[in-house]
Amino acid sequence: MPKTTPNKNPAIFSERILLALIFLMACGVAPAQTLWYRSNCPKAQKQAEIWYFGEKAGIDFRTGTAFPLSDQNVMTAFKASSSICDSVGNLLFFSDGRRVWDRTFTLMPNATGLAGNMGATQPSIIVPWPGDSSRYYIFTIDILTFQDSTHYTTQGLTHTVIDMKDRNGLGDASSTVLNTPLLSPVCQKITAVKHRNNQFYWVIVHEWNSDRFFAYLVTNAGIAPPVISAVGSFHGGNSSGFNNSVGYLKASPDGKKLALAITQKKAIEAFDFNNETGVVSNPESYITQKPGVHPYGIEFSPDCRYLYATVFEIGGVDPLWPSFIYQFDLKNGLVNPVIVDSLLGLRMAAMQLATDGRIYLSRTKNITSKKDSLDVIYNPNRAGIACNFNRFGNLTGQGFPSAGRKSIYSLPNVVQSFVYVPTFTWDSVCHGDATQFHITNKANVDSVFWIFGDGATSDNPDAVHAYANPGTYWVKLTEKFNGEAYTDSMRVIIYPLPAISLADTILLYSGSAINLHAGGGYTNYLWSTGSQDSILSVDKQGSYWAQVEDIHCCKNSDTTFVQVFEYFIPNAFSPNGDGLNDFFRVYALYKNITFTMIIFDRWGQMVFESDNVDIAWDGTWKGEYCPPGSYVWSVKIGFLGQDIITQGDIAFKGTVTIVR
């Protein structure tokens, strides 16, 4: 419910006035060596591949090269919007904090009155429901609406669930979790990042009139009670301190840092964030000294070493003071920022890292005089002006055209983990594959040199290398631009193929069955019969192959031949010494057995006995040839080895005729 205090001498701020304000926030991150893991599994973190923002603007990053979108004509978001794709990059929905549009650019019927305020710096953020690809949270932020110098109303932080099963897969807001309150009052800032387990999410806000962060863990069971950290500056005041609620809050893409801007205090603050416990600690602060300007937008470099902040003039129509972009080297903390660029007559506001490894910036004069392009920091992992603000190749002024659409002060607010991109990626990492290497951001690269960690090298930007053995290799990439070298290295694991070993041949006695085992602990199985179980029951002769797939999507296979047999016992023989069919025997393919054969004449007299399958009856008894006629035999066989599959010991009875 909205918080309300007694109203004296109302002086309500209109939303139009609030929207006309320009605010800033700064975010900071501590550097850390990243161990990027890759597997052969399809990449499934493409939730931030399509942006919709500003005045009907959009960008598509799915091909690896950003291009502007002009296909939506429904949303104008003055401040940060939010949009989400599924894990493979298909647009699901987007929002200005108040309304939600589906992928067909149609309003979701039950999601037209969310509690986010379009005048807030970050009105909303969309977070997937862990373990359920059909549900999403929209967390929304309301502004403080002052009635006088001390009394205000606000809905604070609320959340709504979007269920994508509704409306035949187009989604709609849940009627049971709609604008459900979590915390009030809060500042105009919200960010989200993955938990260390890479499954859950932290949603982080800052309380108003407080020094407290609230970190909410989003799990597959719902939203847990917040982890509260009292650290850093006090955010608050009366109506004259309203702008202390303004400015961006960002988590570092690796989840180890937070940073924010307190616009009115001209402060940029950075913190450690424990993405396992949710605790915020170790504050650092920087106060901007430039006259007439205040911090607002914040972003981290992809490697989380550098922190960027936009600083510009608050209020007024056309800015009289120039805007600035600061870069902090977080190895040294929040000190001595480099001014990457400055711009007179325009306000550089929101910043957002994209999956192409570049940082995009919104720019405008004011709420009514907008620009139809974005600024770009092309190489945010490089120090100082080498980060190439609006510089591509040897050309300056190379922003990003937005197909006539306007950004205002707006870019999407995304889960920061979705834009955690390495300098280079690789795929095909199972032993025997040719591993392919790809540079994430090819802007401002004259030449490259790869060192693959096994003695091999390459100067091909899209290098391919086959490792002789499984193992861990440190791969080093050096990029050169205008004579300067930029180096990064990452650990590449070449995984052994999953072990599978089927016997070359399996003997199976007729009428028996065998369970073929492909091994345990693998993620996927496929047999030649189409079965996807780890065990296959077989009772027929033939070749059978099995393919197994492990957690890295490495595959291996093996084949076995199941030979079904039975013992052959003839029904006649002619023991006359001519060398043709002179003996009666059990013809045995498999001889690791116990064996008993007894033969009787028609009067019940035993005429032959043997415990050796290789010993045949020659048709004699006591040295004399037995007369022609029928003789009764019985055979018992017990199997000794583990290499034969039967249903137990077997016994036969029959007759054989002596022919002379």
CB 323 within 8 A of CB 340: no
Give the model's pLDDT for residue 6.
Answer: 32
Could you please report the per-residue DSSP string of 158-211? EEEEEETTGGGGT-EE-SSSSSEEEESSEEEEEEEEE-TTSSSEEEEEEETTEE
- CA separation for the pair 560, 538 (Å, rounded): 11
- CA separation for the pair 251, 258 (Å, rounded): 4
pTM above 0.85, yes or no: no
CB 319 within 8 A of CB 345: yes
Mean pLDDT in consecutive groups of 10 residues from the start of the chain, 660 residues: 33 32 31 56 85 96 94 95 95 98 98 96 98 97 95 96 97 96 98 96 98 98 98 95 95 97 97 98 96 96 97 88 96 96 91 97 81 91 97 93 90 97 92 95 97 97 96 97 96 95 88 88 96 94 96 95 91 90 90 93 94 94 93 92 75 92
The structure tokens listed for 18 are: 């609030």
List of residues 6+ apart from 648 with CB closer than 8 A: none
Backbone angles phi, psi at 167, to 5 degrees: 55, 45
Closest CA to 238 of 2, 1, 13: 13
Pairing between strand 135-141 and 323-329? unpaired
Q: May I ask the CATH class of domain 3-31+43-419? A: mainly beta
List of residues 6+ apart from 550 with CB closer than 8 A: 495, 498, 521, 522, 523
Pseudo-torsion of CA 279, 284, 290, 291, nearest 10°? Answer: 70
Give the model's pLDDT for residue 363.
Answer: 87
Q: May I ask the CATH class of domain 572-658? A: mainly beta
Give the model's pLDDT for residue 393.
Answer: 92
Give the model's pLDDT for residue 589.
Answer: 81
Give the model's pLDDT for residue 1.
Answer: 35
Domain with CATH 2.60.40.10 in the chain: 424-494, 505-565
- In order of 145, 259, 565, 644, the CA distances from 651 in angstroms are 94, 82, 15, 17
Q: May I ask the CATH class of domain 505-565? A: mainly beta
Give the model's pLDDT for residue 514.
Answer: 85
- CA separation for the pair 322, 288 (Å, rounded): 14
- CA separation for the pair 291, 477 (Å, rounded): 42
- CA separation for the pair 90, 613 (Å, rounded): 70
Give the model's pLDDT for residue 44.
Answer: 65
Q: May I ask the CATH class of domain 424-494? A: mainly beta
